[in-house]
Chain A
Amino acid sequence: MDNKELAERLREIAGKDYVLTSDMDRMLYSYDASLEKAIPDVVVLPNSTEEVSKIMSLAYREKIPILGRGSGTNLTGGSIPVKGGIVVHFSRMNRILEIDIPNRTATVEPGVITLDLQTEVLKKGFIYQPDPASQKVSTIGGNIAENSGGPHCLKYGVTSNHILGLEVVLNDGTVIWTGGKSRDNPGYDLAGLFVGSEGTLGLVTKAILKLERAPETIKTMLAIYETIEDGANTVSAIIAEGIVPATLEMMDNPVMRAVEETIKVGYPLDAAAVLIIELDGMPEGMDEKAQKIMEICKQNNVREVKLAKDDAERDLLWAGRKGAFGAVGQVRPSYLCCDGTVPRTKLPEVLNKVMDISKKYDVPIGNVFHAGDGNLHPLIMFDERNKDELKRVLKASTDILKACVDVGGTISGEHGVGLEKLKETSFIFCENDIEFERHIKKAFDPDDFINPGKMIPEPVCEQ
């Protein structure tokens, strides 16, 4: 089937306005937030499960690569149509279908923006926990594909802990529901498998999400340290005290400097790290715990620690962290955000290695990280147009991931493997592990046409 006929068939399914074929339109679906690019043959914007099912059947019969896309914020090339074919853009399927408070669930289409859902449920006093940094733009479908995390993961877990059921279009166009509003449905945990599968097993067309009560109180503290070790030790000491904060966010000196240069929140330029600690839950005992945490900070040589008295002060404490990426963006035109994750206690060790890597490849690196769950986000700053610099950046990124794996961590905490980290999967997996994954993939997609070329590296040639 040539592309013209393919487009014609897709128009019959989705309507003529919702099939994009011009050079320009196809190029506009050749990128995501990563450095990868590949141009699809056609883009389709379905409006219903039924349409998605028909599109999938067509792709199945014709063995055309197919790939779902939300807002295209993926950082590892997960939404790049590396083998061409059809891009299914879910922007029109963005309805919140139901918020069911008695059953503590929300049912949504995959194109719903995460923050939009959170805003809606908060009006009823509930929250949907996963809060990836991109929540203002990323979609639930994308969050499911990547098993997105966010600052709250230490206490509340990742996306997969909050997905109860999925409506999925399988490879041949069959539509199934797995899981649902009721918990513990017998059989394999397919929803658990779909979450984090990077869109390689099927297309999710509806999701049932778990809602929880919004916490009554939030307490926010900000601590400034002379060394990263002191900050990291504080984190461990807090947890050893039996307190699990909702958030433990840290920034290092290069990022603090960038923040001071742009938005000026009053960080001392000679400090090594700033730590934001947030407690949430019932107010009882919270003041005592906050006091205890401040004591722990002092025991760990904190230079200064502040407790926000009200929402305005809380916003002030967060301003630097929230503006961190942007501040770094002002330093150089591009930045690559790595996503290595390590056991929390290994953070100081790995951060030192990151600094060595920065020197080795002569690229500035700033660190913003979720200290509670050991998820690093080293930001390598560069100019994508400088090819030599780009090469050094990619090497630095690989070295950072290797450093993470060497201390018992992994290559991706929340961004996925996608295209960019296929090579690095060899750091954590042996051929047997990957073979098992290939079997799982085959059970869903024996023809390898659903988001092909992602996540699982091709078999190594035997000679």
Chain B
Amino acid sequence: MNIVQLRKLSYDEVAKCNKCGFCLPSCPTYLVMKEEAYSPRGRNAITRFAIENKLKLSEDTERSIFSCLGCGACTAVCLSSVKTKDIIFQNRECEVDEGFYPKIIDRLVRTLEGSRNISDDDNEDRAEWLELIKDFPEDAFEKEHAEILFFVGCVASFFPMVQRIPANMAKILQNAGVDFTILGGDEWCCGFPLIGAGMPEKLEQMKEHNLKKVADVGAKTVVFTCPSCYHTWKHFYKTDVRLMHASQLIAELIKDKRLTLKKEVNLTATYHDPCDLGRNSGVFEEPREVVKAVPGLNFVELPQNRMLSVCCGGGGNVEMTDPDLTAQVAQMKLDSIKDVGAQMVVTACQQCVRTMQTRAKRTKSDLVVKDLTDLVVEAME
């Protein structure tokens, strides 16, 4: 995208920014970096200056524009509801076309185009996590046809730290007697990282492939443990198939009494709203219903929750381009969890789990970080 196109696409939206600054304290990167360049208002100003030919894109603008976590908290507090995240992602396309973007993204694109996933591993190894489930034959979950397709996502497929999440999900679905399947090596990345990388046009072939596979399986529902896959499908894939996040399906199973949680978990726990699940997709209550269904658990809310939830630091490809920034945002998150006296934080996103768990480990914190599926399996057994 060039500036002229950006002007056409974003000028009216960015002109709605009155520079009131109300977004500043909602932005995790501003809170950490404390410079205007890392604030939503600053990023909007950059876009506007660029559109008005007052500022050339440069390594400086790259630094600002690519540090956005894409969490969308700024829009939630904005009096004029300026769609700052969208403007920033559009700006990223411009930056990419002018060559101002973190070069690590090139590798990401090569990997995605080569292996169809964000890791460099062979896509055939997507179902490696099945090894974590001892009681079932290896191919029990790869059926030709099923009611429900479980779309696993790249991170949970390839990062050992969170491979337990799909395993949990499989156990839960199995336990509730749900007819489901996974695509295994036929699952391709949903394309989400490409949006944050400023290359949304490359998403097309991923989308086509994945949609075709759904049709092949004949699934009426696709379920995701990854909020970003869920969000990408919901907003960029045009499909009539029912899309559900795992938390929604689990809540439904509990309500229908197909799943019962009996084992007590005697901890004080809070819930962290993943940005792409909560604010960006509107799923707030189902994960809470699931957490509250666990017997013995003492639930407390974070002061900033639901629409105002603070990002864990793992969004917007920032973990890849600026891991230090991610770590500092994660620390802020952990501090706020400690402040409400929670011993455990439950979330519903493998990326949030990774970010928070990594930080907790590094700082030797005794905070328990769990995915919603971890908690459900624990209470189920």
Contact = CB atoms under 8 A, between A and B. Distances in A.
A and B form one complex? yes
Interface of A: 20, 22-25, 27-29, 31-33, 45, 71-73, 89, 91-92, 94, 113, 115-116, 119, 134, 136-138, 325-326, 329-330, 333-335, 383-385
Interface range, B side: 20 to 34
A72 B18 contact: no
Contact of A329 (B36, B46, B79): B79
B165 to A, nearest CB: 34
A24 B61 contact: yes
Given A326-B81, A329-B80, A383-B15, A24 B60 contact: yes
Contacts of B303: 119
Interface string B241-259: 0000000000000000000
B129 to A, nearest CB: 41
Contacts of A73: 20-22
9 contacts: A25-B35, A28-B37, A31-B45, A45-B34, A73-B22, A89-B35, A119-B303, A134-B20, A326-B80
Nearest to A94: B34
A122 B328 CA distance: 27
Interface in B302-324: 303
A333 B37 contact: no
A136 B35 contact: no
A28 B19 contact: no
Nearest to A75: B20
A136 B308 CA distance: 13
B25 A137 contact: yes
B55 interface: yes
A356 B77 CA distance: 33
A328 B54 CA distance: 29
Interface string B31-72: 000111100011001100100001100101100100000000
Can you list the 3 inter-chain pairs with the closest CB atoms, starting with the nearest? A329-B80, A326-B79, A91-B34
Contacts of A325: 79
Nearest to B54: A27
Given A32-B19, A33-B20, A137-B22, A25 B37 contact: yes
A137 B19 CA distance: 12
Given A24-B46, A24-B58, 5 more contacts: A32-B19, A72-B21, A72-B36, A92-B34, A330-B80
B21 A71 contact: yes
B29 to A, nearest CB: 12
Contact of B24 (A22, A137, A335): A137
Contacts of A334: 15-16, 18
B54 A330 contact: no
Contacts of A330: 80-81
A118 B253 CA distance: 43
Interface in B1-35: 12, 15-16, 18-25, 34-35
Contacts of A22: 58, 60
A27 B78 CA distance: 22
A225 to B, nearest CB: 25
Contacts of A89: 34-36
A24 B303 CA distance: 35
Contacts of B64: 24
A24 B37 contact: yes
A71 B25 CA distance: 9
Contacts of A92: 34
- The CB with the most chain B CB atoms within 10 A, among A24, A91, A113, A383, is that of A24
B79 A20 contact: no
A325 B80 CA distance: 8
Contact of B21 (A119, A137, A335): A137
Contacts of A335: 18
Interface string B76-92: 01111100000000000
Given A24-B61, A89-B35, A91-B34, A31 B25 contact: no
A115 B12 CA distance: 31
Contact of B25 (A23, A29, A72, A136): A136
Nearest to B62: A24
Contact of A24 (B23, B41, B55): B55
Contacts of B20: 33, 73, 134, 137
B23 to A, nearest CB: 8
Nearest to A335: B18
A42 to B, nearest CB: 13
Contacts of A333: 12, 15-16, 80
A424 to B, nearest CB: 21
